[in-house]
Amino acid sequence: MTDALVIVFVKNIKLGTVKTRLAKTIGHHGAFKVYSELVKVTENATSELQIDTRIYFSTALVDHQWSNKFKAVQNGDDLGERMLNAFRDGFKAGYKKIVLIGSDLPDINSKHIEKGIEALETNDVVFGPAEDGGYYLVGLSQLETSIFKNKPWSQTNLLNITLKELEQLKLNIGILEPLNDIDTYEDLIASDFYKNNPELQERIKEEIYNQ
């Protein structure tokens, strides 16, 4: 057991349920393909870590992903409660520094995650800002429940509101470099993830043509 823990939140890859905003442009089959590729990026990033990793799936465990890792199903009525419960489980297990990431980041690598862990050496909380106003990583060196309660999830003011509340609590906060996730067609085609994947480009063009 390491003193640090990485938690990965993964939405089960099921046709019609992943990347629904993106699906409005490229169809559900296209969105399914994009999210499948993004999960592979996340799995590769975490496979390089020498840090304990726990995978929390949205609805059901998947055997062929993240083999030999701790797996569980997310528990809670909304995203905040699900994240809070995962952090709570980690601290109860004895971990001292915990970071949580999602699984839709085309540019994430092991260094981003390691920097999140390192930031917790001198900070109570760390965030990796997403360019849409949310965050792709949140890390804690002790449980702070307010982060996860009564927040505007998926809104552009999420991180700003969270930071203002934490500043009032006099907590030390670390900020990592921003990354962009992929929620829309514009996000997709602007990403190197898409530009450097000719197979994905052809699949998406075919899906758009066939709509």
Q: Could you tell me which residues come within 8 angstroms of residue 66 by beta carbon, excluding any fewer than 6 positions away?
A: 8, 43, 46, 53, 55
Which residue do the tokens 């799936």 mark? 57
- Between the ranges 45-54, 60-69, 87-96, 144-153, where is the mean pLDDT highest? 87-96
User: How sure is the predictor about 205, in pLDDT bands with cuts at 50, 70 and 90?
Assistant: confident
User: How sure is the predictor about 15, in pLDDT bands with cuts at 50, 70 and 90?
Assistant: confident
Q: What percent of the chain has pLDDT over 90?
A: 72
User: What are the contacts of 65-68 at 24+ separation with CB within 8 A?
Assistant: 65/10, 65/39, 66/8
Q: Is the pLDDT of residue 42 over 90?
A: yes
Reported as type and span, the H/E element at residue 30 is helix 20-47
Domain boundaries defined on the chain: 4-210
Q: Closest Cα partner for 143 from 86, 196, 200, 188?
A: 86
Q: Is the pLDDT of residue 211 over 80?
A: no
What mean pLDDT comes out for the span 36-58? Answer: 94
Report helix angle 20-47 to 198-210, nearest 10.
Answer: 160
Would you state the pLDDT for residue 6?
98
Beta bridge partners of 73: 57
The neighbour count for residue 48, using CB atoms within 10 Å, is 12
CA–CA distance, 134 with 136 (Å, rounded to integer): 7
Domain boundaries 4-210, corresponding CATH code: 3.90.550.10
Q: What is the pTM of this model?
A: 0.93
Q: Is the pLDDT of residue 148 over 90?
A: yes
